[in-house]
Chain A
Amino acid sequence: MEEAAFSVQPFFLWMQEHPLSQFMLDYTWAQPIVQVMHLVALSIFAGSVLIVDLRLLGVGVVKTPLSKVADEAMPWMIWAIVALAITGIPSLMSLAMKQYFSPFFWWKMELLVLGLIFTFTIRRRITHTDESRLGPVWPKVAGMFSIAVWTGVAIPARLIGLFS
């Protein structure tokens, strides 16, 4: 890690020493329970994102209006994000120093922030614009970009645990 005037390392140390981290490490079932719930939430999240992305690409449920598909997927996506955060944060805290020194963790977090911003701004705007005004190209670009970013989040996410 480079020396910087501002460092988040004290924050990661604080997380590592937090009682919740100690509980996660002491109680044998804590880590697996959090991991399995994170994965179920991930599947629902992926489904709620993909059903809209495939519709944007013109290969999904094309008979349903785009804004309807997006609106109906939204609650599943929101609840999945909540569940991913509830399970992801204790998981991060208990291994905070490992995560801090893992390049995969930072790769995941950067793309995660990009994915969330894109999803709730540009993508949301596109899914709620009259399709005749969008033309054939932009929805496809948005769908491809969304799939690429979230795949880019999933890859390093799986690798954090494998390389320490």
Chain B
Amino acid sequence: MLNIIVKDLLEYVDVEESTITEKTKPATDLHLNSYDYICLVGKLEDDLGITISESDLRGFTTLGDLDEYVQKKMIQ
């Protein structure tokens, strides 16, 4: 699932794909701003057919956190 998140993420940040890992922090490491972050969340929802609530967003620090959350959502 991380590869889908990274593919969507690369639409909003200008970095080498190989530098992004599950430990990457979108806000501090990639300077992803709030608007791009909410766009990324919306894109993931659309691509994967899931809903990510705003109240859950506070729990994501790294891409690994988001990946784990998305995987759980896909099983539900």
Q: Do A and B come from one complex?
A: no
Q: B residues bordering A, Cβ < 8 Å?
A: none
Interface residues in chain A, defined as those with a beta carbon under 8 Å from any beta carbon in chain B: none
